[in-house]
Structure 1
Amino acid sequence: MGSLSNESFEHFLDSLKKAGITISNEVELRERLAEAQRWRYAFQTLAANGKTIGICFEDHSNGSNEADIQRAFNEFHVSDKARAVFAANLKH
């Protein structure tokens, strides 16, 4: 279950990767989330605006991993708005 601890964002990102999501500039993403007091909000912001610093999310599964992605968002209590932002900016 996702807690508010700093390690939660690492487990969340690992869950997305296990679901088949490729993260460009992952080191930068992890550094920024580690610095954020509210990593879920920071994730939403970076999902929306991270392209300017090379942070992108890609899915090459043609949607076959949708349940796994939703499970990760549910487990770590990521907001519906963050899910929508992530989905809108996900490259296929």
Structure 2
Amino acid sequence: MAFEVLIGVARNADTAAITNNTAVRMTGAANGNGTVFLRADPDGFAEKDTTFLHIRSQDAWIHVEGATILQFTIGNRLINTPILSMKRLDRD
């Protein structure tokens, strides 16, 4: 069952490299893969220095609920960054 989720991560030099269509993995208490559909850096509207990622996944929500780490690659480096917030956007 596919799902969509909005994830907040701290904005830094590594997360600034995340663009639309970046493949990501959500891990921690759960594991699931997805693709960044849209990135937003809403300074003045939401928490300062937070990047929000609209992620689409073909995995089941149960595989991602409770994830605490967002993983992605820059070149051949695997980056792990804490998930600050997670909000499911769809309802199956």
What is the TM-score normalised by the length of structure 1?
Answer: 0.37
Q: Higher strand proportion, which one?
A: 2
Q: Higher helix proportion, which one?
A: 1
